[in-house]
Structure 1
Amino acid sequence: MTLAYFPRLYAQPDSLAPARECTVRSGLPNFFQKLKSGRPVTIAYFGGSITEAGNGWREQSLKGLQAAYPKSVITHINAAIGGTGSDLGAFRLRQHVLAHAPDLVLVEFAVNDNGKQPALIHRTLEGIVRQIWRQFPRTDIAFVYTLTGAMAPVLEQGKLPVSATAMEKVAEYYGIPSIHMGLEVVKLAQNGSLVYRGKPEEYPNKLVFSTDNVHPYPATGHRLYAEAFARAMQLLQTQSRPHTHRLAKPLTAGNWERAAMASIREVPRSIEWQEITPTTDTVARQLQNRFAYLVKAGRPGAKLIIRFKGTQLGLYDVMGPGCGQYEVNIDGQPARIYPRFDEYCTYYRSNYFLLPELPDGIHTVELTLSNEPLDKAAILQKRGSTINDPRRYAENAGYASQVLLIGELVD
């Protein structure tokens, strides 16, 4: 989860978008036509850990829609991955969302995109929109914003933080409705009825939003999110006639409409790389809900060799106690180091990294598992963690599942 919060959010308040619970724009006409006629619909919930959470606003809002439209069979796709933003989202959209042919895509990345440059958010969000409507021009989209306690000061001023402001620019250009589910949370905190962080037993006369300023309790923060979502849907169901979403000229040059994932199966690799499965490997078992196919190399010098035509490349992989680092060589230039171990690596988690943007063309990238050891104890110490079992940290392995690319693989 990206929690960085920068003073620049306060520096130019006039440049920030106004904070509204629901901005209707072109509404969700195709989705509501199907709902009201009793036809089946599929909703993709696409975001980070706040959306992924069990018994959270995702499941609560789904129950509300099912109760309001009992004649329609409503299927939902949990396409949320904790700790990820719209950048990874643009790459995984086709496999995790579009493969299910959704009628509505709810896009929730404002918290995890907080701290990223607005220009990047414009490119990633527009890439998501254009991918959806390129394949399914009758699918409706809504941008859904959540908050952290650190975002409260700017929201109290009636403004959206930088990340949501950047998303509003894309929403306005394409007529996409947006819902900020946290404004009632801010109001309750302002009048003293709610605290952003704590344990419920510590504040018996107040609502406690979350354990950590970010991830809401189901009965309080998530409930308030779901209630805000329900209010917005009441507004959106009466707006606009069904129509086909037509793609205009792009708002942003170089948007990520070409972003895609390709299986590591398609990439040449040295013999050290071997498939691991949930039945034979504990890491694969822990992450089987993330990776259908995963390979591992534990020996320095193991290589992945990727040729592609496009502008950017990355890897969807694993970080954890037994991970090392890559030496990455792009088009024969001097190698750069990309560690796959950080101060959070007391456990294994899915992760990703992107290489710098390149001129559009054919490129060759070699990723070599480095024999340079990491000072894992010093890295963990940044968060006050210590190595209690050195055996868990002894290996310096690499894991890989998907290639992230803006473009396509070439032979």
Structure 2
Amino acid sequence: MLHSNPLLPLGRVLLILFAITSSGNSEEQARPTNVAQRSDFHNSRISFERDQAGHVAFIGGSITEMNGYRPMVMDYLTQRFPETEFTFTDAGISSTCSTAGAFRLRNDVLVHGKVDLLFIEFAVNDDQDAAHSLEQARRGMEGLIRHTLQHSPTAEIVVTYFVNPEMLEKLQRGETPVSIQAHESVAQHYGATTIHLAQEVADRIDEKKLTWKDYGGVHPAPFGNAIPTSMIAKTLESAWANELPANAKQTPKKLPELLDPQSYTSGDYVPREDLKLGPGWNIQAPDWKTIEGSVRSRHQNRDLITCTVPGSGLSFSFTGSAVGVECVAGPDAGTLEYKIDSGDWQELNLSHRYSKGLHYPRTVLFDDQLKNVKHTISVRLSSKESDYGLKPAVRILNFVAN
């Protein structure tokens, strides 16, 4: 969703500005140890201040989608640069992880033009929803950052680590959650700035200057969202403290070697016209009133690639190193049988632990260890019942490939 120069609710702007300028001393608001500033934010400032135009994008899960830090940062930027024509892209989608983000980045962010400033938030969902390994979280984050820089070499990137109770407990024990370890390694490698909100919250709670209740939980309250907004604003204000030189020019980012050759750095959707659908497969909007389980509004009227007939198959060809599905997996989510090239038939269960009462959006991969050449994949619906004892079905938003 794109937003261009939104009208600003005065009360929210005042809340943000009060939090940034008045809530405690500056060290409490943004301790240097909890912000790793790896950019001078010179490129974005040239766009915002000199060109008076800018594209700022936010990608993440429900923490990004909600009325939280994202609109607060938008308000800060429009206050900071009142003459600038901003385009804000909201690419927050509840329940999605960095894997999903890497494969939907082009469609949800990059198609809207050159990116000046990108905010990423996936630490919580990589931890609790996807339960990613270090390798999986790294591949998703490297895909997001490198793909953005390939598309927009002058883009500047900020990764914010939000927090859930389990991650908080680890930090309080002196441990670093896996998702943050993975994301930080990528951010360091590419020079992306990181806002370690999770550690900031842990520190303030340990110092008895904050409670988890006051912060607001996994989906922070306005007070809680003002903390990362303040940390981001103070970081940018520090970078932009001096006058912009008259001869300042934007500097493209020189890409380093890949951290992981299998990272999803060219993630995209497989065009539907490339799919060869067999009998039993259709592209249509499901009749959700007749299907058990709730569905979120963003998926209710979407035409999905569907099948409810076991044994029915489809196939398509792609060139890349990874292939999978972006689906909504409900109580009847079935198992897909698949074969890549001349390999053996294998199985992929689309169900999730959150699927019992919700058609849960998730991106899962058949394989991400392929050679980066042309492949053909055949897929069919298994006759196995779903994890919740229902006749199997599959509802796919998109097939994805790297």
TM range (shorter): 0.7 to 0.9
1:68 is aligned to 2:80? yes
For the structure 1 residues 60 and 286, does the alpha-carbon distance in structure 2 shift closer, same or farther, using more than 3 Å as the test? Answer: same
Tell me the alpha carbon deviations over residues 226-267 of structure 1, each in whole angstroms, 9 at most, x when there is no partner: 222222222233489631112233333333223222233321
CA contact 1:25–1:177 (8 Å) conserved in 2: yes
Counterpart of 2:126 (choices 113, 126, 136) is 113
Identity of aligned residues (%): 26
Counterpart check, 1:175 vs 2:175? no
- Which residue does the alignment assign to 2:228? 225
Root mean square deviation of aligned Cα: 2.8
Residue pairs, 1:320-339, within 5 angstroms: 320-339=330-349
CA contact (8 A) 2:332 2:387 kept: no
State the match for 2:400 in structure 1. Answer: 404
1:37 to 40, 50, 57: 50
Query: How many pairs align?
Result: 357
* Partner AA of 1:271 in structure 2: P
1:295 aligns with 2:305: yes
Counterpart secondary structure, 1:258: coil
Aligned positions of 1:5-404 closer than 5 A: 20-37=33-50, 39-53=52-66, 55-101=67-113, 102-114=115-127, 115-156=131-172, 160-197=176-213, 207-210=214-217, 214-217=218-221, 219-238=222-241, 242-277=250-285, 286=295, 289=298, 293-345=303-355, 346-360=357-371, 361-374=373-386, 376=388, 395-404=391-400
Cα distance in 2 for residues equivalent to 1:139 and 1:30: 7
SS at 1:304's partner residue? strand
Q: d(CA) in 2 for partners of 1:158 and 1:322?
A: 41
Moved more, 107-116 or 311-320: 107-116
Q: Distance in 1 between matches of 2:358 and 2:143?
A: 32
For residue 159 of structure 1, report the CA deviation from its aligned partner. Answer: 6.6
SS at structure 2 position matched to 1:79: strand
TM-score (norm 2): 0.79
- Structure 1 residue 78: deviation in Å? 1.1
Contact 2:35 2:196 in 1 (8 A): yes
* CA displacement 1:165-201 (0-9 Å, x = unmatched): 322222222222222234442233113343325xxxx
Q: Secondary structure at the match of 2:298?
A: coil
Shift of 1:287: 5.2
1:5-30 deviation digits (Å, cap 9, x = unpaired): xxxxxxxxxxxxx9933222223211
1:161–1:321 Cα change, 3 Å: closer
1:45/1:107 contact within 8 Å kept = yes
1:83 Cα deviation (Å)? 1.9
- What displacement does 1:43 show? 1.0
SS of equivalent residue, structure 2 residue 211? strand
Structure 1: which 5+ runs fail to align?
A: 1-17, 198-206, 378-393, 407-411
Displacement of 1:354? 0.5
- Could you say what secondary structure the match of 2:277 adopts? coil
- 2 CA distance for matches of 1:297 and 1:398? 5
The runs of 5 or more residues in structure 2 that have no matched partner are 1-30
Which one-letter code corresponds to 1:372 in the other structure? K
Q: Cα offset for 1:94?
A: 0.9
Q: Shift of the alpha carbon at 1:36?
A: 2.2
User: CA 1:357–1:61 in 2, change beyond 3 Å: closer, same or farther?
Assistant: closer
Cα distance in 2 between the residues matched to 1:120 and 1:324: 23
Q: TM-score, normalised by structure 1?
A: 0.78
Greater Cα offset, 21-30 or 321-330: 321-330
Q: Is the 8 A contact 2:170 2:177 kept in 1?
A: yes
